Amino acid sequence: MGYAHTRALSETDQSAAESPTLCAVPGVGRSNRRALMHAASNASAPIQRIAVGLVPNNPNSWRGRTTVRGWSNATVGFGTFNSSDLNAVATSNLAAGPVAAPVTAGPYPGSDVTGGALLGRAEAGQVAPEVDHVVPRSDGGANDGDNARLISKLENNSTVVNNNRPTGNQLSMRLYDDIDVVTAHYGGTGTFDAGDDLPFNAVKDLARYSGATIPTSWANVDATCVDTIIRDTAGTGMYQGVDIQ
């Protein structure tokens, strides 16, 4: 059950991409990865974690310039962006065209050569670029390209930024492992690939199997729910109806 618009770039579709990616998935094909996970799930010590995270279901509603997409094997809810991610996001953002130099409260000293305004270290620091989790990391937001946007250090944690975040039905739970959900209590049965956005019934089933409070709507899919699914959803034999393959 694959969704090409939410998958990471693989060895088969990387060259055809139209927008920058956060990072490419290492060269393990889906069939091989699924076979490896199936073997591990049937071992004496079954897999103990399923990697999921929250992302906006329409990323570009929350960012005006950045179009970066993609995820890696290190992507998960509560994950952090690194310096390479910052470069990818900044490159994507700059592709939308340059903007005028930032203006902060002056006065400024001027260059003796060009006469241009010179920002002090404090002022320059305020406009330094940072990668923001559109769905906050603390809420289970993933270090996924769809959840990345570029803001200034001054804007980070500001009211204008925090009031511009998806909630409720504007959220999706994205899967970063291949799993099969069978005999699902809430009807979330299906074969799901890494990169798929899970239907809500599958989210409810994973919450049930992990012991998390079962959400009644997307508004109830909070950090505790995401964390419990990541930590406590196990492989075959641990929770009825979940078969990680």
Tell me the pLDDT tens digit for each residue of 165-182.
999 999 999 999 888 777
∠ Cα 74 49 141 (to 5°): 50
Type and span of the H or E element at 242: strand 242-243
Tell me the pLDDT tens digit for each residue of 12-50.
333 333 344 444 333 344 445 445 444 444 444 444 468
Provide the angle, in degrees to the nearest 10, between the axes of the packed helices 200-210 and 223-232: 60
Q: What is the pLDDT confidence band of residue 7, given thresholds at 50, 70 and 90?
A: very low
Tell me the pLDDT tens digit for each residue of 205-232.
888 888 899 999 999 999 999 999 988 7
* Rg (the chain; Cα; Å): 21
Beta bridge partners of 54: 141, 173
Q: What three-state secondary structure class fits 85?
A: helix
pLDDT at 81: 93
pTM of the shown model: 0.76
Q: What is the largest CA-CA distance in the chain?
A: 74
Sequence spans of domains, the chain: 14-96+116-243
Query: CA distances (Å), 108 to each of 99, 128, 211, in order?
Result: 20, 18, 58
Tell me the pLDDT tens digit for each residue of 87-98.
999 999 999 998
Average pLDDT over the chain reads 77
202, pLDDT greater than 80: yes
